[in-house]
A and B are shown apart, each in its own frame.
Chain A
Amino acid sequence: SQELEQSPQSLIVQEGKNLTINCTSSKTLYGLYWYKQKYGEGLIFLMMLQKGGEEKSHEKITAKLDEKKQQSSLHITASQPSHAGIYLCGAADVAAGNKLTFGGGTRVLVKP
């Protein structure tokens, strides 16, 4: 079965600073999803990557999938308090209705 490992598990950044979260898979990724979760709430879809080398951006958040499709990174530029939360990467299992296997999450706190 596929396993995803996220690093770091948690981080505290000063408002205005950049941050990067990594997601490493035990198998080739055929679809990699990034979600954000506020504590105890539902997941908010951020981006989906499929192709090796693909990069997508939305506002101040950029996600990349490496060429070998086994690692993805999420980068936030000039962080704001609204970026605080838990970031989760999820790998799609296309043979099983696109069920998602998630990493353990990265908890982000932005200090004003």
Chain B
Amino acid sequence: ETGVTQSPTHLIKTRGQQVTLRCSSQSGHNTVSWYQQALGQGPQFIFQYYREEENGRGNFPPRFSGLQFPNYSSELNVNALELDDSALYLCASSRVAGGTQYFGPGTRLTVL
């Protein structure tokens, strides 16, 4: 196990709603990255947080936003949910911004 935890495990929402996903990084890690993995595809980078600041963003609209807290845990917020947002959301932590990323078990989001 990596020591990265995510909650909740599964989530079902309806179109237009908002959702918050949580991630606790591995002890000693100050960087958290979020990825979206659609069924049958590789993960897609959403954004990264390093010491509470956004440190890079992928090709995702502004309704995807995040936070990192002083203890380096992180949240991913998605507003105005769309059906295509249904996916496995993965968070990964690393010791430093350029270090090896260790992934949590993921949160499965289903949008109906």
Is A35 touching B103 in the complex (CB atoms < 8 A)?
yes
Q: Could you mark each residue 75-108 of chain A with 1 if its beta carbon is under 8 Å from any beta carbon of chain B, else 0?
A: 0000000000000101010101111111111000
Find chain B residues with CB under 8 A from A92 CB: 98
Partner of A45, one of B31, B43, B56, B100: B100
Partner of A99, one of B40, B41, B56, B88: B56
Distance in angstroms between the alpha carbons of A103 and B44 in the assembled complex: 10
Q: How many cross-chain pairs have Cβ atoms below 8 Å apart between A and B?
A: 69
Which of A12-20, A36-44, A61-69 makes up part of the contact surface? Answer: A36-44
Interface residues contributed by chain A, number (CB under 8 Å): 24
Q: Could you mark each residue 27-63 of chain B with 1 if its beta carbon is under 8 Å from any beta carbon of chain A, else 0?
A: 0000101010000111111001010000110100000
Find chain A residues with CB under 8 A from B35 CB: 100
Interface size class, chain B: 20 to 34
Find chain B residues with CB under 8 A from A100 CB: 33, 35, 43, 45, 101
Interface of A is mostly: strand
Give 11 A-B pairs besides A41-B106, A98-B98, A103-B42 with Cβ atoms closer than 8 angstroms. A40-B108, A42-B106, A43-B103, A45-B2, A45-B101, A88-B42, A90-B42, A97-B97, A97-B98, A98-B99, A104-B40
